[in-house]
Amino acid sequence: MQEALVVALGRHRYRVERRWGQWPATAAQGFISQVAVDSCGRVYLLQRSDPPVLVFNPDGSAGGTLGSGVIADGHGIAVDARDRVLVVDRDAHEIVGFDGAGAVVLRLGRRHQPSLGAPFSHPTDVAVAGNGEFYVSDGYGNSQVHRFAADGRHLASWGRPGTGPGEFSTPHAIWIDRQDRVLVADRENDRVQVFDRAGRYLAEWRDFYHPMDLWEDGEGNVVVSDQIPRLSLMAPDGELLGRCRGTLNGAHGVWGDRQGNLYLAELPPERLTRLVRLD
């Protein structure tokens, strides 16, 4: 029996559960890309194969799949306040939203029509603000963030290639925090940039190596995964609160549930890892 590992992140300790979840018998495992959790504790694992989204119940049992035949190249996934599952179809240049039954209820972008500017050229991630606005990191073909109204209308974009404030080199993940700020993992620049909702530059957090993903916990602190591999816990003002090595080869995606557990979409060898909060 493998010995259980325990890690610490800030003031909390976690038990590491690698290869968490019962894989659906009808779904082959592909390249795992991202993970998200809904308000009921259901875990949505995105992989770059068909079916693209695997659903796990809170106890880890298989809960079905989403998006078969719809997603070409899933890169990012998010769940909004309405429990819509939003998938970033990177190489199809589109954001596709599903309801809980798997029906397509939203599309942003023009499928298979990459664009210099908005929208998209190989987007990476999506986040939804409290008023329903969408923010998309457009990170492989473009170096921008795009803002959309809740009805899908394009409102604004910002960013260009570079290393200065408001410039990006592979904006890889995006999050809207409790202070209504837009956090962007600026991967190749080894930093997280912080903006207001209109795109005004506010700050940057450094001391990361290729940050991959962002998730905000119930206390307003932000978990950042990078390619060391490690997880960093950041206070809202950017102060480092703690670090740990919760994965073997890095978390391309990270999300948490209401109990404080963390779910990590690991790079090869692909696996879904859960960090169970102990205190």
DSSP state letters, 143-165: -EEEEE-TTS-EEEEE--BSSST
Does residue 11 sit within a domain? no
Does residue 223 sit within a domain? yes
Q: pLDDT tens, 159-188?
A: 999 999 999 999 999 999 999 999 999 999
Does residue 61 sit within a domain? no
Does residue 191 sit within a domain? yes
Give me the domain span that covers residue 161: 114-230
Domain count, the chain: 1
- Are the C-beta atoms of residues 266 and 46 closer than 8 Å to each other? no
Does residue 272 sit within a domain? no
Those residues with Cβ within 8 angstroms of residue 164's Cβ, 6 or more apart along the chain or in another chain:
none
> What does the pLDDT read at residue 4?
86
Specify the 3-state DSSP secondary structure of 187.
helix
> What does the pLDDT read at residue 188?
98
Q: What is the pTM of this model?
A: 0.96
> What does the pLDDT read at residue 13?
98
d(CA 183, CA 170): 14
Does residue 21 sit within a domain? no
Does residue 8 sit within a domain? no
> What does the pLDDT read at residue 1?
59
Give the phi and the psi of residue 27 in degrees, each rounded to 5.
-120, 125
Q: Tell me, what CATH number does 195's domain have?
A: 2.120.10.30
Residues in the chain: 279
Task: Determine how many CB atoms are found less than 10 A away from the CB of residue 219.
Answer: 14
Task: Extract the residue ranges of the chain whose pLDDT is less than 70.
Answer: 1
Does residue 198 sit within a domain? yes
